[in-house]
């Protein structure tokens, strides 16, 4: 066993004895008890009893750990991915940890085939991959494969945590996240999760029962978890998002429409938006389009669809400068991913939301409904698609600067800045022994949940 494992505890269930064990008569006895999850029966006995339960390490207050553990660099694992939204949240959290503690040792656990395989190394972080595949929404054979992969992912993640000497695991969503969190729970490693969506997913609802802390992107999700674990921080975003704000369309100039289908694109938006914007144009609205179609889409066919309708459109698989795209647009037509909505809010950009029908558990529909109700903007599902009504409301926002400003202010009011910093700060307080488990406070924005 390494020196670190001897002094920085909670590294595994297998380390505590199943019967009375002689305690070491040395100056480091307190560290021995901490590592083993034990305490003396009385000041005069040399036998010990196990007292640590799942989650106790964090809920008790981390100041009870040995001084050696508090003084060492935190070793943090961020588990999750698959889509760019989950990876984006993880990278923002990692940057916040690195900013607050430059000595932090940060490692990502992701899937073999997810977006994290490209984005995490590009951001300068290490990545370990495990076997993982989705269960929700899969066929019967796919569900069976997903369950087998879940067991394999947990076993592989346990090995990664042991080799890394992990102090904390942060689950950021995606089907690979559950394996990392379960592995940490079985090894008595403190765990937290971040729920980005308006409605909590099945996996996070289950994980919420065993983790030590649940960070939320939206206040509407708080009833899904135990109130004592909840912290409302918002959704961590990429650097630069919101630094420049969208501005109202200028009379006599073409409004700029930004179409976003998520990291993989949206077949629904690619198919229906050209027709929708043709109807907008028939209402004498003047506009130009930037359409992000995704890497798997037929960009040539989409360009032809716009050209056939005499619409000035730029079609691209991806947008590298997304912060600039938000700031330069006047209105967005977008899928309803949680990160996309948070980025729209940070940029103050009004939007027409169209939930992706293939999203797991239809989680984008509650997102779109909440966003529309809060901002007064339009949204439509694919089943009840009403292009004429959407066209009228879209044209109105392009042509009426005052109505645009009202909507933009409502959009901006949904933004919670410094979400990643607040999450990292709360976790590091636990390392430093300054955690108050009875208060759920967003330390930077002043919002409190009780």
Order the strands of the 331-334 sheet from edge to edge. Answer: 313-316, 287-292, 255-260, 331-334, 351-353
Q: What is the mean pLDDT of residues 261-277?
A: 90
Helices (H), 109-225: 116-122, 140-164, 175-186, 202-207
- Closest-CA residue to 91 (of 118, 130, 58): 118
pLDDT in tens, 233-251: 999 998 899 999 999 999 8
Residues forming CATH 3.40.50.2000 domain(s) in the chain: 73-235+417-449, 255-412
How buried is residue 28: exposed, middle or buried, by Cβ count under 10 Å (0-12/13-18/19+)?
A: middle
Give the CATH superfamily of 255-412. Glycogen Phosphorylase B; (3.40.50.2000)
Maximum separation of any 2 CA atoms in the chain, in Å: 88
Q: How confident is the model at residue 201 (pLDDT cuts 50, 70, 90)?
A: confident
Residue 416: what pLDDT? 96
Q: How far apart are CA 158 and CA 343, in angstroms?
A: 34
Tokens of 219: 């206040």
First to last CA, the chain: 42
Residue, of 302 and 9, whose pLDDT is higher? 302
Residue the block writes with tokens 């901490």: 34
pLDDT in tens, 368-388: 999 999 999 999 988 889 899
SS3 307: helix
Residue 197: what pLDDT? 95
Sheet strands (E) in 83-153 = 105-111, 126-130
Least confident window among 272-276, 336-340, 428-432: 428-432
Residues 6+ apart with CB under 8 A from 315: 291, 293, 299, 302, 303, 306
Q: Give the global pTM.
A: 0.79
Residue, of 435 and 274, whose pLDDT is higher? 274
Which helix (H) or strand (E) is 440 found in, with range? strand 440-441
Residue 323: what pLDDT? 93
Helices (H), 237-293: 267-282
pLDDT in tens, 413-429: 999 999 999 999 999 98
Q: How confident is the model at residue 114 (pLDDT cuts 50, 70, 90)?
A: confident
- Report long-range pairs for 16-21 (Cβ below 8 Å, ≥24 apart): 16/50, 16/52, 17/48, 17/50, 20/47, 20/48, 20/49, 21/47, 21/48
Give the CATH superfamily of 73-235+417-449. Glycogen Phosphorylase B; (3.40.50.2000)
Q: How far apart are CA 237 and CA 90, in angstroms?
A: 9
Please determine, for residue 16, whether its predicted confidence score (pLDDT) is greater than 60: no
Q: What is the mean pLDDT of residues 14-35?
A: 40
Residue 131: what pLDDT? 77
Q: How far apart are CA 294 and CA 184, in angstroms?
A: 35
CB 448 within 8 A of CB 240: no
Residue 20: what pLDDT? 38
pLDDT in tens, 325-350: 999 999 999 999 999 999 999 999 99
Look over the chain and give the mean of its residue pLDDT values, rounded to a whole number: 81
Backbone φ and ψ of 94, nearest 5°: -60, -45
Q: How confident is the model at residue 71 (pLDDT cuts 50, 70, 90)?
A: low
SS3 180: helix
Instruction: Tell me the β-bridge partners of 111.
Output: 130
SS3 226: coil
Q: How far apart are CA 262 and CA 252, in angstroms?
A: 31
pLDDT in tens, 75-96: 999 998 888 889 999 999 999 9
């Amino acid at each position: 066993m390494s020196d670190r494992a001897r002094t920085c505890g909670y590294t595994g269930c297998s380390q505590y004895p199943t019967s009375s064990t002689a305690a070491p008569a040395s100056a480091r006895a307190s560290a021995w008890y901490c590592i083993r999850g034990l305490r003396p029966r009385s000041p005069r006995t040399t036998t010990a009893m196990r007292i640590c339960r799942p989650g106790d390490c964090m809920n008790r207050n981390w100041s009870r750990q040995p001084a050696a553990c508090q003084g060492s660099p935190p070793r943090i694992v961020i588990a999750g991915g698959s889509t760019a939204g989950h990876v984006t949240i993880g990278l923002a959290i990692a940057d916040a940890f690195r900013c607050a503690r430059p000595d932090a040792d940060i490692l990502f656990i992701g899937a073999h085939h997810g977006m994290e395989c490209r984005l995490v190394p590009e951001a300068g972080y290490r990545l370990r991959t495990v076997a993982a595949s989705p269960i929700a929404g899969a066929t019967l054979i796919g569900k069976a494969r997903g369950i087998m992969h879940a067991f394999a992912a947990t076993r592989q993640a346990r090995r990664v945590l042991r080799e890394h000497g992990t102090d904390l695991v942060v689950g950021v969503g995606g089907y690979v996240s559950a394996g990392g969190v379960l592995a940490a729970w079985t090894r008595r490693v403190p765990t937290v999760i971040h729920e980005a969506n308006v409605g909590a997913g099945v996996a996070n609802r289950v994980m919420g029962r065993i983790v030590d802390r649940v960070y939320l992107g939206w206040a509407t999700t708080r009833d899904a978890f135990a109130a004592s674990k909840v912290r409302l921080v918002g959704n961590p975003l990429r650097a630069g998002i919101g630094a420049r704000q969208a501005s109202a369309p200028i009379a006599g100039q073409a409004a700029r429409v930004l179409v976003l289908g998520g990291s993989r694109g949206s077949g629904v938006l690619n198919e229906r938006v050209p027709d929708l914007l043709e109807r907008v144009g028939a209402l004498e609205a003047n506009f130009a389009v930037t359409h992000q179609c995704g890497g798997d889409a037929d960009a040539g066919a989409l360009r032809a669809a716009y050209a056939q309708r005499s619409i000035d459109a730029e079609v691209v698989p991806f947008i590298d400068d997304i912060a600039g795209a938000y700031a330069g647009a006047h209105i967005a037509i977008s899928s309803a991913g949680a990160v996309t909505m948070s980025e729209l809010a940070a940029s103050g950009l009004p939007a027409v939301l169209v939930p992706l029908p293939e999203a797991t558990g239809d989680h984008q529909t509650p997102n779109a409904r909440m966003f529309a109700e809060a901002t007064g903007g339009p949204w439509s599902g694919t089943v009840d698609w009403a292009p004429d009504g959407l066209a009228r409301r879209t044209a109105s926002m392009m042509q009426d600067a005052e109505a645009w400003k009202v909507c933009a202010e409502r959009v901006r009011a949904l933004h919670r800045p410094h979400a990643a910093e607040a999450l990292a700060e709360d976790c590091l307080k636990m390392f430093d022994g300054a955690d108050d488990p009875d208060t759920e406070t967003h330390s930077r924005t002043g919002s409190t949940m009780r």
